[in-house]
Structure 1
Amino acid sequence: MQRLDDSLHPFKTTTVLVVEDEPITRTIIANYLDGFCHVAVVANAEEALQYCSLTPPDLILSDVLMREMDGLELCRQLKTMPDVSHIPLIFITSLSEDVEEQACWEAGCVDYVVKPVNAITLTNRVKTHLTLKLQTDFLKQQSLLDGLTRVYNRHWLEDAVQRLIRQSSRECSSFCLAMFDVDWFKKYNDHFGHLQGDQCLREVAKALKKALLRPSDAVVRYGGEEFICLLPDTDIEGAECVVNRIKDAVCKLELAHPESPFGIVTLSGGLSQLDNSDLENWEAWLKRTDELLYKAKATGRNRVCIASVRN
C-alpha cells in the first residue's frame, strides 16, 4: 500500500487506541495499523476511559458490542469529558440495520467500519480521520499563539489554567503561577521605536521559553509587555528556582536599555502558589500574583516578590 508523505502527514507521531474485547480481533486490527502510527490496545470500555483520562490518543477504534459497557456508552461518556471529547471515534461493528447505524451516529462517532474488517478500508479511513485531526489541532494551536512572540495567548490561558487547576486538585499536587513585566518598557519603546520594541519582546519570550525546562510548564503573553508562566506540579521552592532562572536568562541577553538604571532589559515578577480558595476562582489567584508583581516594581524592579505558602 502506498503511504502518504510522512512529512505532510506525520502519522508516526499519533496514537490510535483500539478497544476490542475479542483478543484475536484486537490483534488483527493492531497489525493492520502497525507501521504508520502508534497503536495502543485495551480489552474493554472501562480500560479505554482510564487510558484516555491519562494519555488521550488521537483516534479511537472501538467495537460496538462489548460485555458490561458497550461501545455506544463508551462514546457517550467520552463526549462528556472535556479533555477528551474532541477525540474522533470510529466504530467497528457487525451491526447492519439502519436503526443500529443511526445509534452509532447519535452516540457521537465520526465513522464506522463493518466486520469482517477490510485492511485497506480500515487503514484509509484511519488515515483520513487522523489527517483531519492533525489539521484541526494545528489550526487550533495557531489560534492559541500570540502573533508577535509565538508563545501562548490569553485564549489558551483561560482554557488551560482551568484544566491544570482541576488536575492539581485531583492529584493533590502543587501548582505555581508567575507573572513578569518588562521593566520600563514604555521608555524602551520611546527610545528605540516600536519595531525594536517588538524585537525585544520576541527575545524576552524566547528566553522565558528556554528557561522552562519541563514540557508541562508554559509561557503566556498576557498583554503588552506582561508574561505569565504556569508551573504545574511545582511547589513554591521549586518555582522560586525557575523564576530566578528566568530573570537571570533575560539579564544575560544584555539587551541595551539606556533609559533603565540597570542599563539592560530586566524583568520584575510575582510568584504565588495555588491554594484551596483558588479552586473555584482562579482570578483571585491571578490578582494575588499581580499584586506581588507590582510590589516588585514598587520596590526597585529587576526582582521577584514571592508569596509565602498559605495554609
Structure 2
Amino acid sequence: MHSNAQVLIVDSDPLNRVVLENTLSEDCRVALQDNCEDAIEFIATHKVDLIITDISLVDSQGVTFIQRLKNNSETYKIPVIIVSSSSSYSDEVKGLQMGAVDYITKPFSPLIVRARVKIHLVLKQKSDLLEELASIDGLTELPNRRLFDKHLADQWQSCRAAGNTLGVLLVDIDYFKAYNDMYGYGAGDECLIKVARSLKETVDSHQGFIARYDGVRFAVILPGHTMEQIEVLLYMMHDAIDKLLLPHKSSPICAHVSISTGIVLIEKEFSLGVAKCLQYANSALSQAHVNQERMVLLMR
C-alpha cells in the first residue's frame, strides 16, 4: 500500500509516535517529529503526502500546527489526520473546521488508523494526478499556460527578493500556419511535439523552465542567468531545431522548420510587473518576425 508515500507523524508524546510508526511502517515511509518548528522545517525540505498530528500542538505564538499548515500556500494541500485523546464533539468539529481531513480518538485501533491512512493517501494521489493533468498541455506534454503563469509569478518574487536576474523568452515556430496548410494538421501536431521535445531538452540543460504558452508559441523562464548565458542557450535552441531538419517548403526564410525568439532580461526593473514583461517579450518576438531576425533581446 503506497510504499513510496511519506507520512509525517507530529506528536509530543513519544509513546504515540512509536505506536503510530509501528502501525504504518510496513505500508509507507514514516517520519517522526515532536514539535511544530522541526515539523515545518522537515516539510520544507521533504515531500510529505500526509500528516498525523495531535490537535494540542501549538507554536510559541500560540498558533496551532494545523493553522500554520493551512495558512501556507506551500503546505495547505497536505491532508492532516488528527489523533487526539479528546472524544469531545466540539473538539472534533474544531479540528475539522481548521482543515483536518479526519479525526481519530485515542486509544485507537491500529487497523482503523491503517485503513483511514490508506483512504486519504489514495485520495491525495488522485488529487495530485488531477492537478498535474490540469497543468500539463495534452499535446506536447509540457507545462501549460496555467502552470507557466504560476511559475513566473513565483520566480518574479523570488528573483526580486534575492536580487537575481530573470530572463523571459517567447519562442514561435516560423510560418506555422503555412506549414499546416501544406502538410496538414496531423503533421502540424507532430511538428509541435518534436519541437517541444527538442526545446525542453535544451532548456532543461540550462536549469530553465519551458511551457506551451499558446497555440504555436512556447515560453521559457531563466532565473539567475546573465545575458551571455541566455545568448548561449538561444543559439543552442535554434541549433537544436535546425538539426531536426523538418521540411518546410512554405517558409520564405528557411527550407526547414525554424523558430524565432523574443527575450526580456530583467536585471533590476521588477517594478514593471509580470504583465508588462510579457508584453515586452511579445513585442521583441514580433520585431524578430518583422525584421526576419532569429532573436531579439530587450534589457530592462
Higher mean alpha-carbon deviation, 129-138 vs 215-224, is at: 215-224
The residue identity in structure 2 corresponding to 1:283 is A
Give the Cα–Cα distance (whole angstroms) in 2 for the partners of residues 297 and 273 of structure 1: 19
Contact 1:58-1:133 within 8 A present in 2 as well = yes
Cα displacement (A) at 1:216: 6.4
In structure 2, runs of 5+ residues without a counterpart are none
2:210 corresponds to 1:245: no
TM-score normalised by structure 2 residue count: 0.87
Query: Following TM superposition, by how much is the alpha carbon of 1:253 offset from its aligned partner in structure 2, in angstroms?
Result: 0.9
Q: Distance in 1 between matches of 2:69 and 2:13?
A: 21
Name the SS of the counterpart of 2:204 in structure 1: coil
Q: Identity, % of aligned pairs? A: 29
Q: Which residue of 2 aligns with 1:8?
A: none
CA RMSD of aligned residues (A): 2.7
Change (3 A) 1:202 1:162: same
The letter for the 1-side match of 2:10 is: V
SS at match of 2:213: strand
Q: Which of residues 183, 187, 197 is equivalent to 1:192? A: 183
The one of 16, 23, 28 equivalent to 1:25 is 16
CA distance, structure 2, for counterparts of residue 286 and residue 238 of structure 1: 20
- The 1:137–1:305 alpha-carbon spacing in structure 2 relative to 1, beyond 3 Å, is same
Kept after mapping to 1: 8 A contact 2:52/2:81: yes
Note if 1:258 corresponds to 2:258.
no
Residues 201, 30 of structure 1: alpha-carbon distance in 2 compared, 3 angstrom cutoff: same
Cross-structure match for 1:109? 100
1:26-105 alignment to 2 at 5 Å? 26-66=17-57, 68=59, 73-105=64-96
Listed as ranges, the gaps of 5+ residues in structure 1 are: 4-10
Write the distance in 2 (CA, Å) between the matches of 1:215 and 1:61: 39
CA deviation profile, 1:163-196 (whole Å, cap 9, x unmatched): 3333334444443222100011122122212221
Which residue of 2 is the match for residue 271 of structure 1? 263
How far, CA to CA, are the matches of 1:55 and 1:173 in structure 2? 25
| CA displacement at 1:138 relative to structure 2 | 0.9
Are 1:131 and 2:103 matched, yes or no? no
C-alpha distance in structure 2 between counterparts of 1:166 and 1:50, whole Å:
21
Distance in 2 (alpha carbons) for counterparts of 1:12 and 1:205: 34
What secondary structure sits across from 1:205 in the alignment?
Answer: helix
Indicate how the Cα distance of structure 1 residues 262 and 215 shifts in structure 2: closer, same or farther if over 3 A, else same: closer
Scaled by the length of structure 1, the TM-score of the pair is 0.85
Does structure 1 retain, via aligned residues, the 8 Å contact 2:165–2:223? Answer: yes
